[in-house]
Amino acid sequence: MSDSSSTRPAGAIFIKVCGMTTPEAVATALDCEVDAIGFVFANSVRRVGAQRANELAAPARQRVACVAVTRHPAREEVAAILREFKPDILQTDLEDLDQLDQLDLPRSLSVLPVMRAGPAPAGALPGRVLFEGPVSGSGQTTDWQQAAELARRTQVILAGGLHAANVADAIRRVRPFGVDVSSGVEQSPGIKSIQKIQQFVAAARAAAMESA
């Protein structure tokens, strides 16, 4: 799976395009050779059910990581997503992890905890986190200074308000392990733009090379 390595080659950056709702968006992400694509199961204009997520994810299986994006899901919801969608990665907020410990998760499943701006946990951090804006999918930029501090302690995938015009600055300032984009590559709410995906990926990779 694309994200299995804990290190990246010099100049490489992990790229996730989230909120997939159309075959065209999936095809473009694959053409751009991103590392992961996300399917939203939380309340959102981008929300898809398991059946639709499976249809969209079909061409991406074994090529990129397919991520089930949740937020504060009930245990029954998590179990249904794992059973019906079989994601490579389950993304959910950091505070949700305690209840996930009560589930019999597949060994092949990776969990990506989401952290948001605010007081950082005092204890040990997970090996990789997604640092998000205050409201997922809203286009609000998160606290890059805090993200940069966090990136010195663990692998950070930066999300929240990123787009082709600011991702290079974000990468220079935060030096994250990866970047995650959703609303920043849309032509309308929930509908991705092929051109914007291409521009974002190109800008992120160019900035990562410059920062290597």
User: pLDDT, tens digit, for every residue of 74-111?
Assistant: 889 999 999 999 999 999 998 888 778 778 888 899 99
- For position 111, which CATH number holds? 3.20.20.70
Q: With contact defined as beta carbons under 8 Å apart, do 114 and 156 qualify?
A: no
Does 6 map to a domain?
Answer: no
Does 2 map to a domain?
Answer: no
- Give pTM, 2 decimals: 0.92
Does 8 map to a domain?
Answer: no
Task: Give 48's DSSP letter.
Answer: -
Does 1 map to a domain?
Answer: no
Give how many domains the chain has, as a whole number.
1
Does 29 map to a domain?
Answer: yes
Q: What is the identity of the amino acid at 75?
A: R
User: What range does the domain containing 110 cover?
Assistant: 14-211
Does 4 map to a domain?
Answer: no
Q: With contact defined as beta carbons under 8 Å apart, do 32 and 67 qualify?
A: no
CA-to-CA dists, residue 163 to 63, 102, 123, 170, angstroms: 24, 37, 32, 10
Q: What is the pLDDT of residues 26-84, one digit of tens each?
A: 999 999 999 999 999 999 999 999 999 999 999 999 999 999 999 999 889 999 999 99
- What value does the mean pLDDT take over residues 163-178? 98
DSSP letter for each residue of 5-41: -SS--TT--EEEE----SHHHHHHHHHTT-SEEEEE-
Does 3 map to a domain?
Answer: no
Does 39 map to a domain?
Answer: yes
